[in-house]
Amino acid sequence: MRALRLREWKSEPVLEEVPVPEPGPGQVLVQVGAAGACHSDLHLMHEFEPGTLPWSPPFTLGHENAGWVHTLGDGVTGLAVGQAVAVVGAWGCGSCEHCLDGLETYCERPDLAPVPGGGGGLGLDGGMAEFLLVPAARHLVPIPDGLEVVDAAPLTDAALTPYHAVRRSLGKLRPGSTAVVIGVGGLGHLGVQVLKAITAARVIAVDGRDAARVAATEHGADLVLDPGPDTAAQIREATGGRGADVVLDFVGSDETLATAAACVRQLGDITIVGIAGGTLPVSFFGLPYEASVQTTYWGNRRELVAVLDLAARGLLRADTTIYPLEDAVTAYDDLAHGRVTGRAVIVPNDAFTG
């Protein structure tokens, strides 16, 4: 089968032929219908040094995956061949306290996990291939009626990650509250939608790109701003001087974090989602009183079930550009140079062929 492989750190991926995996006991072979190209993959290709992560190349890229059950390993129940499924991307040990609570992103026994702190496309072979071997049936979620495989795939990260971040601050997103989304790209445009779908907050979106600001408006943002030296002041003016109850930074640069700190309200939340490498100095007088700062990583299976339900009901939709597998390298080049609005999605198979 064809697979897009990252052979080593600081290199471009290569499309090559590899054997089709065979599922062992408890495993599932998925015929991949679609795999999202994530901006974090660019960091893997261009920035990470050997030893930065507890795993390393070579592996097949693609951690946003959906497709159809192709082959069931011995002992697998509850799934049927040909069934449309989305893949939960983080693969923990399944037995530590966090995993048993469904938080496999925060697995505390990496020595027992298939790959420490990763999953398919992150240390193990992912979905930029015709088939994907999933190590346990619990990592698969049936796709509900009304949602196509190609639409479900990018939601497994690009919607799940903001959903998890928003859900963490739900108690502060009551009627009369304000949420700020910084960066309306692959994750941010879905962050706006998640806020509108599950909270009563007013949503302010900040992005320097014309197309992104248009997308933010189309997806329900109440106010859209161009970033600049007056952005925080504009947010405070729009909130009657109080500031934002929750700031979701989908960029994570020095500049965006400074904006977040300048516009957050007392008792508010700053959630850093983007991994642009910025830092936020924290001191007693550096933030409003009782403002909280946190990072989040991805989301869990229960949350993906909710995300897919929202999408099937028409409340979430990823803006996508579709590429065949043979053009996957082009997709990443387009992503790196800002030519993709929303999410790039690679399609290895456009129908089940079991």
Tell me: the pLDDT tens digits for 192-250?
999 999 999 999 999 999 999 999 999 999 999 999 999 999 999 999 999 999 999 99
What is the structure's pLDDT at 342?
85
Do residue 83 and residue 221 come from a single domain?
no
Tell me the two tokens of residue 82: 């040909």
Report, as an integer, the average pLDDT of 159-185.
Answer: 97
Higher pLDDT, 133 or 115: 133
Whether residue 352 lies inside any domain: the answer is no
Whether residue 312 lies inside any domain: the answer is no
Do residue 112 and residue 197 come from a single domain?
no
Whether residue 221 lies inside any domain: the answer is yes
Residue 268: give its domain's CATH number: 3.40.50.720
Q: Domain range for residue 326?
A: 2-156+318-347
Do residue 146 and residue 8 come from a single domain?
yes
List, for residues 258-296, the tens digit of each pLDDT value.
999 999 999 999 999 999 999 999 999 999 999 999 999
- Phi and psi for 19 in degrees, rounded to 5? -65, 150
What is the structure's pLDDT at 327?
97
Do residue 222 and residue 343 come from a single domain?
no
Do residue 185 and residue 68 come from a single domain?
no
Residue 8: give its domain's CATH number: 3.90.180.10
Query: 């089709």: which residue's tokens?
Result: 20
Whether residue 313 lies inside any domain: the answer is no
Do residue 148 and residue 174 come from a single domain?
no
Judge whether residue 21 has pLDDT over 90. Answer: yes
Whether residue 197 lies inside any domain: the answer is yes
Q: Let me know the angle formed at the C-alpha of 321 by 319 and 324, rounded to the nearest 5 degrees.
A: 145
Q: How confident is the model at residue 341 (pLDDT cuts 50, 70, 90)?
A: confident
Give 123's strand partners: 119
Q: How confident is the model at residue 300 (pLDDT cuts 50, 70, 90)?
A: very high
- Report CA-CA distances (Å) from 1 to 20, 47, 225: 6, 28, 46
What is the structure's pLDDT at 156?
98
Do residue 92 and residue 184 come from a single domain?
no
**Angstrom distance (rounded) from CA 26 to CA 22:** 12
Report, as an integer, the average pLDDT of 106-113.
Answer: 93
My answer on whether omega of the bond before 50 falls inside 30° of 0, hence cis, is: no
- Phi and psi for 193 in degrees, rounded to 5? -65, -40
Do residue 80 and residue 180 come from a single domain?
no
Do residue 18 and residue 43 come from a single domain?
yes
List, for residues 316-340, the tens digit of each pLDDT value.
999 999 999 999 999 999 999 989 9
Do residue 54 and residue 18 come from a single domain?
yes
**Angstrom distance (rounded) from CA 319 to CA 74:** 38
Query: 């020595």: which residue's tokens?
Result: 111
Do residue 151 and residue 167 come from a single domain?
no
**Angstrom distance (rounded) from CA 153 to CA 63:** 9
The tally of domains found in the chain comes to 2
Judge whether residue 49 has pLDDT over 90. Answer: no
Share of the chain above pLDDT 70, in %: 100
Q: Determine how β-strand 131-134 pairs with β-strand 64-72.
A: unpaired
Q: Going along 9-108, which residue ranges are E strands?
A: 14-17, 28-37, 59-60, 64-72, 84-87
Do residue 241 and residue 263 come from a single domain?
yes
pTM reported for the whole predicted model: 0.96
**Contact criterion met (CB below 8 Å) for 354 and 70:** yes
